[in-house]
C-alpha cells in the first residue's frame, strides 16, 4: 500500500484529502505545520508528499529542500493558491515532482499521484537516475496562467538543472528567445548568452560567425576571429530560425553537437565546445526533415527537449495580464502613466486573432502609448485594429476563399496576410518586418515567392 503525507495548514483541506485518499486505498498521514510534517516523514517516510507552499511556521520551499535532503527519491506535489510563474519554476527546479493550484482538482491530483508512484517504482529499479536539486533563481518576464504555459514553466525548471540541448518551437512573436534566456539565466547566469539569427546572415558568413576563422582563410580575413561558440564560453548559443540554416552548415553543426569540438574556418586545430545550444523555429522541423529540407539526424539531436509555445490566440486568458505587464514596462521606458485599456478595447483585443502574437500586442501598445493623450487607451489609440466589426470583417475577408466551400492553402493565407499588412501600414521594409515578426531576408524571399511589389524604403 502506497503512503501519502499531506502537509497543509488548512484543516478542511487536510480532512478532505485524508478521506478521499484513504478511500482510494492509500495510507495517509496529515500535518498542519512544516515542522510536524518533517518529523512525520523522518519517523515514517511516505512515498508521496502533498505540500502546501504557504505554511504557518516555515516556507514550503524550505520543507521541500529538507525532504529532498532526507530522501532524494521522495515525490513532492506542491500546492498553492497563487498562480505565478516564478513559484512554479522554483518548485520544479527545487525538486518537486509536480505543482497544482487550489482549489484542488481531484482528477488532476489523482493523476499526479499515480505518475509520482510510477516514477518512484521505476527509480527504485534504476539507482542514481535523479539529479541533485540546484540553487534557487529569479525568472524572466513570461506571463502565463493556462495549463500549457504552466507546463512550459515546469519544463523550464527541469531543463535548467542540466545543459541538454533544447528546441523551442512556436509562431513568430510568441517569445521563443525569451524562453531561451530564462533557461540560460537559471542555468549559467554569469556566462554569455549569444543569439544568432540563422536567416539574417548568408551561409558563407554564418559559418565564420559560428565557428570563427583564421587569418588569411578568405579575402578580407585580416586577423583571427573567434566565433560565437568560443565567445559563449560555458554559456548559451541560441540559434534562432534554425530552419533557415543550409543543409551544408547543418552537417557541420551536427558534428559540433556530436563531438563537442570544431575547427575555425581555414584552421586545423580542434576547439572544444563548452557552450549549451538552444535552437528556435517557427516551422515544423519534423515535417521539413521528412521532406528532405532539414537533416533528420540534426533534428533528433536538437529535439532532446522540445518546448512548444502556444500562440496568443489559444491563450486569450493571458491577454489582460500581458497588457498589465507590458504597459508597466512601456511606462517605465517611455516615462508614461498609462494605466490600462478601455473595456471596449479589451473586448476587441480578446476577439482579435493576433497573427503576430505577443510581439504584435507589444508593438500596438507601444505605438498607442506614444500618441495617447489620456491614461486609458481606447479605440482611437489603435487605428490598426479599428472597430471590433472592422477587425472581424478584415480577418474574415483574409481567410475567405474565392469559391464557396473551398479551403485556402497556408501559402494563400500567408500571401493575403502579407499583402494586408503592406496595404494597411505606411511603413518601410524594416518596420513591416517588425509587424510581421520575420527577418529582412525572409521578407525578401516571401515578396519574391508571391510576386509582391514593394517600392517603399
Q: What is the DSSP string of 76-122?
A: EEEEES---HHHHHHHHHTT-SEEEESSP-HHHHHHHHHHHHHHHHH
pLDDT of residue 448: 84
- Compute the average pLDDT of residues 54-75: 89
Residue 402 has pLDDT above 60, yes or no: no
Residue 238 has pLDDT above 90, yes or no: yes
Angle, alpha carbons 367-373-376 (nearest 5°): 80
* pLDDT tier for residue 232 given thresholds of 50, 70 and 90: very high
* pLDDT tier for residue 449 given thresholds of 50, 70 and 90: confident
CATH class of residue range 3-125? alpha beta
When mean pLDDT is compared over 39-53, 76-90, 407-421, the highest value belongs to 39-53
Name the pTM for this structure. Answer: 0.65
Angle of helix 60-70 relative to helix 34-43, nearest 10 degrees, comes to: 10
On the question of a cis peptide bond just before residue 224, with omega within 30 degrees of 0, the verdict is: no
- Compute the average pLDDT of residues 36-62: 93
- Compute the average pLDDT of residues 110-127: 74
Distance in angstroms (rounded) separating the CA atoms of residues 52 and 80: 6
pLDDT of residue 139: 40
Here the contacts of 325-331 (C-beta below 8 Å, separation 24 or greater) are: 325/141, 325/143, 326/361, 326/362, 326/365, 327/365, 327/369, 329/141, 330/362, 330/365, 330/366, 330/369, 331/369
pLDDT of residue 236: 96
For the stretch 320-363, pLDDT in tens is: 989 988 998 888 888 888 888 888 889 999 989 898 899 999 99
Residue 17 has pLDDT above 90, yes or no: yes
pLDDT of residue 456: 63
Residue 249 has pLDDT above 90, yes or no: yes
Range of lowest pLDDT (98-102, 184-188, 243-247):
98-102
Distance in angstroms (rounded) separating the CA atoms of residues 329 and 82: 22
Between strands 27-31 and 3-7, the pairing is parallel
- Compute the average pLDDT of residues 63-82: 88
255: buried, middle or exposed (CB in 10 Å: 19+, 13-18, 0-12)? Answer: middle
**Structural domain boundaries of the chain?**
3-125, 147-308, 314-450
pLDDT of residue 434: 76
Residue 411 has pLDDT above 50, yes or no: yes
Domains 147-308 and 314-450 share a fold: no
**Secondary structure of residue 218 in the 3-state scheme:** coil
**Average model confidence (pLDDT) across the chain:** 84
CATH code reported for the domain at 314-450: 1.10.8.60
Residue 59 has pLDDT above 80, yes or no: yes
pLDDT of residue 52: 93
Q: List strand residue ranges (DSSP E) for 250-362, in order.
A: 261-263, 270-272, 276-281, 305-308, 340-341
Range of lowest pLDDT (130-134, 142-146, 211-215):
130-134
Sign of CA dihedral 70, 76, 81, 83: positive
Angle, alpha carbons 61-67-72 (nearest 5°): 115
Distance in angstroms (rounded) separating the CA atoms of residues 43 and 28: 14
CB atoms under 10 Å from CB of 299, counted, come to: 20
CATH code reported for the domain at 147-308: 3.40.50.300
Residue 178 has pLDDT above 70, yes or no: yes
217: buried, middle or exposed (CB in 10 Å: 19+, 13-18, 0-12)? Answer: middle
Distance in angstroms (rounded) separating the CA atoms of residues 262 and 264: 7
In terms of Cα–Cα distance, which of 281, 451, 437, 272 is closest to 363?
Answer: 437
User: Which residues, other chains included, contact 285 with Cβ-Cβ below 8 Å and sequence gap of 6+?
Assistant: 167, 169, 242, 243, 294, 299, 302, 303
Amino acid at each position: 500500500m502506497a503512503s501519502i503525507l499531506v502537509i497543509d495548514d488548512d484543516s478542511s483541506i487536510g480532512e478532505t484529502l485524508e478521506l478521499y485518499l484513504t478511500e482510494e486505498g492509500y495510507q495517509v498521514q496529515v500535518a498542519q505545520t512544516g515542522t510536524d510534517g518533517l518529523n512525520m516523514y523522518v519517523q515514517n517516510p511516505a512515498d508521496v508528499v502533498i505540500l502546501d507552499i504557504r505554511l504557518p511556521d516555515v516556507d514550503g520551499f524550505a520543507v521541500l529542500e529538507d525532504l529532498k535532503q532526507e530522501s532524494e527519491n521522495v515525490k513532492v506535489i506542491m500546492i498553492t493558491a497563487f498562480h505565478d510563474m516564478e513559484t512554479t519554476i522554483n518548485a520544479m527546479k527545487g525538486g518537486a515532482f509536480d505543482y497544482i493550484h487550489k482549489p484542488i482538482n481531484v482528477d488532476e491530483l489523482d493523476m499526479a499521484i499515480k505518475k509520482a508512484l510510477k516514477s518512484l517504482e521505476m527509480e527504485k529499479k534504476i539507482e542514481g537516475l535523479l539529479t541533485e536539486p540546484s540553487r534557487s533563481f529569479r525568472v524572466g518576464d513570461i506571463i502565463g496562467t493556462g495549463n500549457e504555459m504552466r507546463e512550459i514553466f515546469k519544463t523550464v525548471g527541469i531543463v535548467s538543472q542540466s545543459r541538454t540541448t533544447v528546441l523551442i518551437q512556436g509562431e513568430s512573436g510568441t517569445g521563443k528567445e525569451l524562453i531561451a534566456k530564462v533557461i540560460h539565466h537559471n542555468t549559467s547566469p554569469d556566462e554569455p548568452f549569444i543569439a544568432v539569427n540563422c536567416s539574417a546572415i548568408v551561409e558563407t558568413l554564418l559559418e565564420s560567425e559560428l565557428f570563427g576563422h583564421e587569418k588569411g582563410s578568405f579575402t578580407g580575413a585580416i586577423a583571427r576571429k573567434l566565433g560565437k561558440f568560443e565567445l559563449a564560453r560555458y554559456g548559451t548559443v541560441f540559434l534562432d530560425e534554425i530552419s533557415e540554416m543550409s543543409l551544408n552548415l547543418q552537417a557541420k553543426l551536427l558534428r559540433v553537437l556530436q563531438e563537442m569540438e570544431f575547427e575555425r574556418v581555414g584552421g586545423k586545430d580542434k576547439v572544444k565546445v563548452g557552450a549549451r545550444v538552444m535552437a528556435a523555429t517557427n516551422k515544423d522541423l519534423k515535417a521539413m526533415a521528412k521532406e528532405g529540407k532539414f537533416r533528420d539526424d540534426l533534428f533528433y539531436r536538437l529535439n532532446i527537449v522540445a518546448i512548444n509555445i502556444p500562440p496568443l490566440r489559444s491563450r486569450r486568458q493571458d491577454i489582460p495580464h500581458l497588457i498589465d505587464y507590458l504597459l508597466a514596462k512601456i511606462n517605465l521606458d517611455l516615462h508614461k502613466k498609462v494605466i490600462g485599456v478601455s473595456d471596449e478595447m479589451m473586448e476587441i483585443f480578446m476577439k482579435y486573432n493576433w497573427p503576430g502574437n505577443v510581439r504584435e500586442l507589444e508593438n500596438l501598445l507601444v505605438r498607442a502609448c506614444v500618441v495617447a493623450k489620456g491614461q486609458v487607451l481606447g479605440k482611437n489609440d489603435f487605428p490598426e485594429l479599428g472597430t471590433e466589426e472592422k477587425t472581424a470583417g478584415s480577418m474574415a475577408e483574409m481567410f475567405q476563399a474565392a469559391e464557396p466551400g473551398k479551403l485556402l492553402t497556408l501559402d494563400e493565407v500567408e500571401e493575403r496576410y502579407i499583402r494586408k499588412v503592406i496595404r494597411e501600414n505606411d511603413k518601410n521594409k524594416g518596420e513591416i518586418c517588425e509587424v510581421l515578426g520575420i527577418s529582412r531576408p525572409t521578407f525578401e524571399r516571401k515578396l519574391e515567392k508571391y510576386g509582391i511589389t514593394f517600392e517603399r524604403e
